[in-house]
Amino acid sequence: MFKNYLKIAWRNLMKRKIFTAINILGLAIGFGSSILIYLFLSHHLSYDNFHENSDRIYRFVTEEHRDNIDYEATVPPAFANEFRQNYNYAEKVAKLAIWENTQLDFELNQQKIQVKEDMLFAEADFFEIFNYPLKEHISTRSLEEPNTAYVTVDMAQKLFGNSNPLGQTMRLDNMETIEVIGVLENFPRATMLEEGLIISFETLKKLDDFAGTEVWTGMTTSLECFALLKPNQDVDAIETALLELPKKHRSTSKNRHEYQLQPLADVHFNPLYGGVDPTLLWAFGIIGLFLISIGCINFINISTAQAFYRSKEIGIRKVLGSFKNHLFWQFLSETFVISVFALGIGVIFASLMLPSFNSLFQTELYMESLLSVQFFGFVALLLILISFLSGSYPGILMSRIVPVLALKGKLNHNDTGGSSTRKVLVVAQFAISIILIAATLVISRQIDYAINTDLGFDKESIVMVKIPKELEAVQLESLTNRLDYISGVEDVTACLSSPGGSENRWGTGVKYHNRPEYEEFSMQVKLADLNYLNTFDLELVAGRNYFKADSITEVLVNEKFGKKIGVNNPEELLGKKFEANGGYVKASIVGVVKDFHDGDFTQEISPIFMAQNPQWYDEIALKINTQNISTTLTQIKGTWKDTFKDYIYEYNFLDDRVEEQYEEEQRYLSLSKIFSALAILIGCLGIYGLILFYVGQRTKEIGIRKVLGSGVANILALFTADFFKLILIAGVFATPISWYLMEQWLQGYTYRTEIHWWIFAVAILSIMTITLITISYQTIKAAITNPIKSLRTE
């Protein structure tokens, strides 16, 4: 029986090629997107699920309670040893620290090689907690020694080609020599470790006088601490026990720490601690569902519209012994055939799109991961679901057709039913498209707003270069002076970080004037030389810039600082005492800087102070002339290289850096653009199918109208009006929904664009235009046909 169904399904499909193509294409796009989304979601859901004891692995994180709560995925450097020695909850505890983009020098086949790599410093126990198997190693050596390292198979290949990696030595950041003592198997793709070079933690102790030491006074997010707990531990009890640590070690601090245990499974999914935002995953899932449903809607609309043409067949079948359920299953198998084809095309579509998808989302998804039991399960489920979703309603409608009427040819289109259902479904399709277009508009407006609003500092034509090692103050000054001599360079400043650059919070210990207590809030610090204000065009609202001095005696603060301590007149701040970082800074306030957006638009402007302290400077900012940029850049490189002979030169532009803050938003934007385009495309296919059907159905009417003197425009208007009505209804539903959703999204921003009514008007109008274009060809074709023809055929 089923074979027979399939045979007939095949012939039916071949007979109505256009409609079959529309159906298959619409569903194929839906399938293709679902497959990509499946890959994406399964990649994220499989994160670090391969560790043997993953349910007992935890990361220590910190809640910082000040005037508000900050969440940091780290603990003070001294935490690990304290937890190891004084508590009995864990089998193993391990620290690791990440260094990004750090220089390595080594010799390979008599050639000097310089590269920059991301790397990890880890305690040996790290490999006892996690399952990253060692492939080969020098058995007499261990990662507990300083200056030792492991590399992964891929990293070994990348660095040393086919040479044996074991025993190779490298200069790390021109400071320490490390030796490769082991090779690790490549990591699974879905794991938190991305760095293929792991260096012993003992080495870090020589390099970093903060993360490598035993202190409780501060934290750095480059350091993480993991533990493998003993079986059956009560996490709440541990957290309660840990409450005593801050009391013991940080009793005077206004920044009250609470240390907590984050389960490994939560690490990848908790945005508070730098994980992926699950909303993105949800958005993906829902959009996949949207696309599939639009495809299904096309199918339902076209099939129910076509039911009339099949009524004769159904009548005959019923008279010859078919029951309703036979017809239902017959129709469903047709849907199944279509879905299988669509699936095939969808897979091709997905594999073609995968590279661009990967580059957009910075993922490394592979089609090969589709060869899994889960995927086949997913596809089977999807096939069945789609067949049922799109096939069952038309199937029911068709099986209801009354044979006597069908056989006598007395049925008309309304008797085969579904016309009001079609309208509802088309409205739903339009509504989805309108929502997606409106979302695209709002997201792009927000990005535009964030990037193009006056941030309070100059970000155009500013080049940032690193200072790779500590220089004497005199040397640094000579370097900046030489850079300033370059004709294309207008201003130069050496600083810890640019506005919009990395965050440097000196947590507690801000004391103002003669107040006895430390303030509760945290402060950003911008250490920089005298030219900082000029280079970034920062405005002083009161006082003056600091004078040149060897130690910090004068500071600048921003207006926000005044607001935080309750002094609204900037003039009042001048001359007041200012103490920060536990007395490390003792100075007086000499100037107040106008607020500028140091963080991205999700963050409120923080209180900031600025001071000069050359030993902390990390980078140099150069305001350059827009003429002869390439010459200027070459000259900058030359001058830089004179001072830093052994280092790799890198630079970037400040405006790129500011835009990078909105990488995720840009991704959302591409996502909504692509998916609205797809939704509209599938929707158009459906509309095209429907208009073919409507025109066919109303041929006679068109003929009569033409004979009575109606023009092409009138006839186009006749069909257009029907669709426009539906679009308006869709707009009525879509506007509040998308308004609400986008308002929710914008809530994540402290500084945000407004949602205007015209955004929805634009969305609705663009759908109308697209619909008009879609339907005009068929309609105009019908309208210019000689009416004699259409009337004669009746």
Residues that bind another protein (CB under 8 A): 1, 4, 7-8, 11-12, 15, 312-313, 315-323, 326, 403-404, 407-408
Q: Which is nearer to another protein, 141 or 326 (CB)?
A: 326
Q: Which is nearer to another protein, 337 or 496 (CB)?
A: 337
DSSP helix/strand/coil, 94:
strand
Measured from the Cβ of residue 306, the count of other Cβ atoms closer than 10 Å reads 18
Shortest CB 395 distance to another protein, Å = 17
Residue 562 and residue 591 in contact, taking contact as beta carbons nearer than 8 Å: no
| Distance between CA atoms of residues 612 and 591, nearest Å | 14
Q: Which residues contact 68 (CB under 8 A, 6 or more apart)?
A: none
DSSP 175: T
DSSP 196: S
Helices (H), 513-586: 532-535, 559-565, 570-573
Q: Which is nearer to another protein, 16 or 205 (CB)?
A: 16
N- to C-terminal Cα separation, the chain: 37
Q: Which is nearer to another protein, 384 or 404 (CB)?
A: 404
Please list the helix, strand and coil fractions of the chain in percent, rounded to the nearest 5, in that order: 50, 20, 30
Shortest CB 765 distance to another protein, Å = 44
Q: Which residues contact 466 (CB under 8 A, 6 or more apart)?
A: 618, 619, 620, 650
Tokens encoding 389:
């979703």
Q: Which is nearer to another protein, 288 or 315 (CB)?
A: 315
Q: Which is nearer to another protein, 318 or 459 (CB)?
A: 318
The radius of gyration computed from the CA coordinates of the chain, to the nearest angstrom, equals 34
Shortest CB 39 distance to another protein, Å = 39
Torsion of CA 74, 77, 83, 84, to 10 degrees: 120
Shortest CB 7 distance to another protein, Å = 8
Tokens encoding 611:
């001071």
Say how many CA atoms lie within 13 Å of 163 toward its Cβ.
Answer: 13
Q: Which is nearer to another protein, 135 or 408 (CB)?
A: 408
Measured over all CA atoms, what is the biggest interatomic distance in the chain, rounded to whole angstroms? 104
Question: CA nearest 774: which of 732, 731, 727, 733?
Answer: 727
Q: Which is nearer to another protein, 13 or 593 (CB)?
A: 13
Q: Which is nearer to another protein, 312 or 505 (CB)?
A: 312
Torsion of CA 249, 252, 255, 258, to 10 degrees: 40
Q: Which is nearer to another protein, 303 or 498 (CB)?
A: 303
Shortest CB 698 distance to another protein, Å = 25
Angle between helical axes of 17-45 and 324-361 (0-180°, round to 10): 50
Bridge partner residues of 128 (DSSP) = none
Shortest CB 398 distance to another protein, Å = 14
Q: Which is nearer to another protein, 89 or 329 (CB)?
A: 329
Shortest CB 674 distance to another protein, Å = 39
Shortest CB 383 distance to another protein, Å = 24
Shortest CB 324 distance to another protein, Å = 9
Q: Where are the beta strands (DSSP E) in 219-327?
A: 223-229, 256-263
What value, to the nearest 5°, has the Cα angle with vertex 359 and ends 354 and 360? 95
Phi-psi region of 407 (alpha: psi -120 to 50; beta: other; left: phi over 0): alpha
Shortest CB 131 distance to another protein, Å = 56
Q: Which is nearer to another protein, 11 or 17 (CB)?
A: 11
Shortest CB 407 distance to another protein, Å = 6
Shortest CB 23 distance to another protein, Å = 18
Residue 683 and residue 294 in contact, taking contact as beta carbons nearer than 8 Å: yes
